[in-house]
Homo-oligomer: A and B are copies of this chain.
């Protein structure tokens, strides 16, 4: 193992985590050999690590197919996360009120490197599955929430982000032109909110307002998703935005603790 030659680094643990990360949206259950292939570990290592994870209750194993799946422990981890994130506790009641008030889907997103991650979702209308579950990470530049947050950081940093952060097409309409993205972000600087259309799924519209943190900088945003068939920009600004902003502002208290190293 030529990786991290550090006596404070436990390779076996890191490899075990690689097994966990092998599961995602399109790999929801994996056999031993698939795990080995996806992690790049050899058969023996995979066997030992997967077995350990199974014994420890992190992976379920179908006795018939011998395939591994994430266990309920993965949900318990989300539960523990929630208690550790001071924002969620503050925001939850206001988000519930907001979603009931609007009758539309309301989300809480946080900045996570150059992505955003949905921390809480309150779906009110049926949509596609991925829009209803928490923990989804999306490129910040392609989301209204990400742009609304970016709008609160200093100009140089903002520009750098628009130039370098990753983007990739989700729909034929996903904006891949960084100039267009910059325009959208700068509009958000001016307006204090961001609206996007069809970035993640066709005909979906989203509006987001930042939750301002300690130094005027946002690490989170409240976002509302609606159907582009029944809503347009004007009506969103008139009917949704005011209440969205009220909610975001009422959450804003001091969130000193920034995450990461």
Residues of chain A touching chain B, judged by Cβ–Cβ distance below 8 Å, are 4, 7-10, 12-17, 20, 23-26, 28-29, 47-49, 51-56, 58, 60-63, 69-72, 74-84, 88-89, 92-93, 96-97, 100, 103, 110, 112, 117, 119, 122-126, 129, 132-137, 257, 259-261
A56 to chain B, nearest CB (A): 5
Question: Please, how many angstroms separate the alpha-carbon atoms of A119 and B51 in the complex?
Answer: 25
Q: Kindly list the 5 A-B residue pairs having the minimum CB-CB distance in the complex, ordered from nearest.
A: A79-B135, A78-B78, A28-B84, A75-B135, A13-B16
- Nearest residue (CB) in B for A69 is B84
- Chosen A-B contacts, 22 in total, with CB atoms closer than 8 Å, are A8-B51, A8-B52, A9-B52, A10-B52, A13-B15, A16-B17, A25-B79, A28-B84, A60-B260, A63-B261, A69-B259, A70-B80, A72-B137, A75-B81, A75-B135, A76-B117, A78-B78, A78-B135, A82-B129, A93-B126, A96-B132, A100-B103
Question: Please, how many angstroms separate the alpha-carbon atoms of A28 and B83 in the complex?
Answer: 6
A contact patch SS: mixed
Contact A123 B126 (CB under 8 A): no
In the complex, given contacts A75-B119, A77-B77, A82-B133, what are 6 additional A-B residue pairs having Cβ atoms less than 8 angstroms apart?
A: A13-B53, A75-B117, A92-B132, A93-B126, A97-B126, A100-B125
